Amino acid sequence: MIFPVLGVLLVLLLSSIPVAATLMALAVFIDEAFSAFPLQRALGEVVWSASDSFLLIAIPLFILLGEVLVRTGIARSTYRTLEMWLSWLPGGLLHANIGTATFFSATSGSSVATAATVGTVAMPQARALGYDERLFAGSIAAGGTLGIMIPPSINLIVYGFLTETSIPRLFMAGILPGVLLAALFMMATAALCAVFPKLGGERRRYGWGERIRGLVFLVPVLALFFLIIGSIYAGWATPTEAAAVGVVAALALAALSGRLSWAMLIDALEGTMRTTAMIMLIIVASYFLNFCLSSAGVTRQLTDLVESAGLGPTGTLLLVVAVYLVLGFFVETLSLMVITIPVVAPVVLGLGYDPVWFGILLILMIEMALITPPVGLNLYVVQGVRGHGSIDDVMVGAVPYVAAMLVMAALLILLPDIALLLPRAMN
């Protein structure tokens, strides 16, 4: 039963049918082919139970927060400050690209929004200062992936919702791996530019006075991060309430910067509605697909297949990582999550792995899918901002950062405390 289901899924995905429609069509196929009961009668109840959650309100709120921040000019001032502090390193502005993406990830929740924002600010400087555009674009695409690891993260919310895992614990677990991954990106950049100095372009130096004065521009981003995360862990707010507080604070920052207007607000709300509608349709369709998979016994069959293979916990985990690596080449990231989590999570968690730790490892594999061709979304976002040349340049530039992600995956597997240290301290 498993292989016909996978075959139909691949055919539907390769047919360029919208993901939500693909998931619903697959659910109906499973119902008609393998179930003796008309599961469509449960559709209304399943859709209601999938969407009737206070937690899901956090998704449009965090999206709106990112949309407002994109239009306030905070990213530009953050980039300028990090340029002054990091441009002395081998690679110069490449480190500012990664650093700005790290800071913006702490308020955005979206990898695509992070890559687009940093790319808009940084990309014009690549050619002007003689940087290798391939590596420059690759650093922006890779830095953008941090948007779904460092909290607040929309993808962590989706994982927590689908697996009934604590969102605050997931948020706390994402901080150290996110920062460590950013450090690995910078180490890979410095090593490459030390060996091949021409990749780094012109390096600019700044006085300590300029650097210290520039720190004031990091205050808004840090304040938003501590307001959102701090309110959750202080027990003052749920993730949804913290998202609402973050939106109010972002609007206040927009007003202080003189960029708050009806036109800006309408654009932000329209972008939020489009993204939220897409995410919610996919979640609802995946919920119904999960219901049909369980009712038809496909989930149980997969579990039995894995157990009968005799791979053991470590072998099974490595197999799951390999599967995500391959699927990431061909399937869009959110779709990859909602299609696989209902099937994979019970298998992995049934082997005794911590759901919070596995969530972080899963998000890391999803991050990798964002910068691996042919479907890596961040690659196309950065190329769109770049506006010239070939997408192949961005793909080549992302290769060193994919290698850094593989190193990070190995570290997470060998040292689970990288993800679990802060959640345990929270307890």
Q: How many other CB atoms are found less than 10 A from the CB of residue 268? A: 23
Residue 279's contacts (CB-CB under 8 Å, 6 or more residues apart) are 59, 154, 158, 334
pLDDT of amino acid 233: 80
Picking from 358, 361, 339, 333, the residue whose alpha carbon sits closest to that of residue 348 is: 358
Cβ-contact 53, 280 below 8 angstroms: no
Q: What would the pLDDT profile of 203-258 be if each residue is shown by its tens digit? A: 777 888 888 888 888 888 888 888 888 888 877 888 888 888 988 998 998 888 88
CA distances 363 to 135, 141, 298, 342, 355, Å, are: 24, 16, 24, 15, 12
The rounded distance, in Å, linking the Cα atoms of 326 and 413 is 18
The rounded distance, in Å, linking the Cα atoms of 70 and 353 is 37
Query: Is 19 exposed, middle or buried (CB count within 10 Å of its CB: 0-12, 13-18, 19+)?
Result: buried
pLDDT of amino acid 329: 80
Cβ-contact 186, 98 below 8 angstroms: yes
Averaged pLDDT for residues 23-37: 69
pLDDT of amino acid 80: 85
Picking from 132, 134, 122, 62, the residue whose alpha carbon sits closest to that of residue 97 is: 122
pLDDT of amino acid 125: 79
Average per-residue pLDDT for the chain: 82
More confident residue, 301 or 64: 64
pTM confidence score: 0.83
Give the amino acid at 163: T
The rounded distance, in Å, linking the Cα atoms of 288 and 47 is 7
Task: Dump the DSSP string for 304-323.
Answer: HHHHHHT-HHHHHHHHHHHH
Integer Rg of the chain from CA: 22
Averaged pLDDT for residues 44-70: 75
pLDDT at 157 over 60: yes
pLDDT of amino acid 419: 95
Domain extent listing, the chain? 19-29+40-426
Highest mean pLDDT among 12-21, 29-38, 94-103, 109-118: 94-103
Residue 271's contacts (CB-CB under 8 Å, 6 or more residues apart) are 63, 67
Picking from 153, 142, 143, the residue whose alpha carbon sits closest to that of residue 110 is: 153
- Label residue 8 by pLDDT band (50, 70, 90): low
pLDDT at 183 over 70: yes
The rounded distance, in Å, linking the Cα atoms of 407 and 412 is 9
The rounded distance, in Å, linking the Cα atoms of 72 and 260 is 8
Preceding amide of 152 cis, omega within 30: yes
For a pLDDT cut of 70, what percent of the chain falls above it?
Answer: 84
Picking from 200, 159, 143, 207, the residue whose alpha carbon sits closest to that of residue 59 is: 159
Cβ-contact 126, 137 below 8 angstroms: yes
Cβ-contact 132, 106 below 8 angstroms: no
Give the amino acid at 264: M
